[in-house]
Structure 1
Amino acid sequence: MARLDQTDVRMRIVIDRPVIGVMHSLQAGNEAVLDPRYSQTGEPLAFDFSVRIAPGPKFFGEQVRREGPARRFVYIRIGQSAGDAASPWSRRMKIDIHDIDPDLLDRAAREGRILETSVNGTGADGTPACATLRPVARRLI
């Protein structure tokens, strides 16, 4: 698909209630770790990136991963996967983006706003949340 048919949308993933001291990072491409950081006091972690959206909607970009014909998501790497060799965890969060309300996507693109998705960073067992996480909230900022 020609890039002329694609619109840039700025996105932010906020990890609420991350496990203190555990490294998190965006994943770029298949393996690259971007912007590693950890929470010192339980403060949320925010990761900004851009995607390109084409009619459908179809999602493109360095952080966009695919599964099957329609599912698109972004990975957040955790612990060893985020570059902390001493961490006891090596996990990833999978945050779906293919299910974002098309009206919200359109508004983000049209108004030049950031589309923010918040997820809970701590699992029920007190360890870093991983696997597919459902958003706690999505909003434009």
Structure 2
Amino acid sequence: MDSEITLQIMLIKPTPKVVFGLQKGSGSNYETIQKQMATSNDLSFTFSVKVKGDKSIDAFPKFAGSFVQGPADSKFVYIDIGKTAGQFDTIWSRRLKVPLSGISWKDIDALSGNSILQAIVPGTGKDGGPNCATVKPFTGWHLKQV
């Protein structure tokens, strides 16, 4: 089964006056898209990933595409922050890793033309700066009607 699904990351209460963006590509060959300056509002990033695999053989779907990072058994998506997102008038230079783990075949089968899978993640870390590294706590991906 090869198909595409739409995912959305909601960044809740991100650190104000910092740029956040979705990383497209990997290694030194990437660009930051959907750049947004955090104000008092939450930020959202919507994108598509390819779903590969066979649910009769594979316990979990496999993900690919220009937004997908990481080794086969632990795929994730990056949110670039501050200097990493191209904002050079800030002290922040971070990336937030949002895991794709936990998305099941059942989740994918539940999607329809008017639904997506959404992850809600905190935008500010314990140090008061932008949340970074692997997102914690991570409540996973949930079906959302659009």
Same fold (TM over 0.5): yes
Distance 1:92 1:36 in 2: 13
Distance 2:142 2:101 in 1: 15
Secondary structure (helix, strand or coil) at the match of 1:33 reads strand
Secondary structure (helix, strand or coil) at the match of 1:123 reads coil
Distance 2:129 2:48 in 1: 29
Equivalent in 34, 47, 50 of residue 49 of structure 1: 47
Equivalent in 113, 138, 142 of residue 139 of structure 1: 142
Aligned length: 133
Q: Is the 8 A contact 1:59 1:98 kept in 2?
A: no
Deviations 1:25-82 (A, max 9, x none): 00000221111102222x1100000011112311011100122x31100000000001
More helix by share: 1
RMSD, aligned α-carbons: 1.4
Runs of 4+ in 1 over 4 A off after TM superposition: none
Distance 2:14 2:108 in 1: 26
Distance 1:66 1:48 in 2: 19
Instruction: Return 32-41 or 84-93, whichever deviates more.
Output: 32-41
Distance 1:120 1:136 in 2: 10
**Structure 2 residues without counterparts, runs of 5 or longer:** none
Distance 2:74 2:25 in 1: 16
- The equivalent residue for 2:108 is 105
Q: CA shift at 1:137, angstroms?
A: 5.2
Secondary structure (helix, strand or coil) at the match of 2:106 reads helix
Equivalent in 65, 77, 84 of residue 74 of structure 1: 77
Distance 1:54 1:29 in 2: 18
Q: Is the 8 A contact 1:9 1:52 kept in 2?
A: yes
Q: CA shift at 1:125, angstroms?
A: 1.4
Q: CA shift at 1:15, angstroms?
A: 0.4
**Structure 1 residues without counterparts, runs of 5 or longer:** none
- The equivalent residue for 2:93 is 90
Equivalent in 9, 15, 20 of residue 13 of structure 1: 9
Q: CA shift at 1:17, angstroms?
A: 1.2
- The equivalent residue for 2:122 is 120
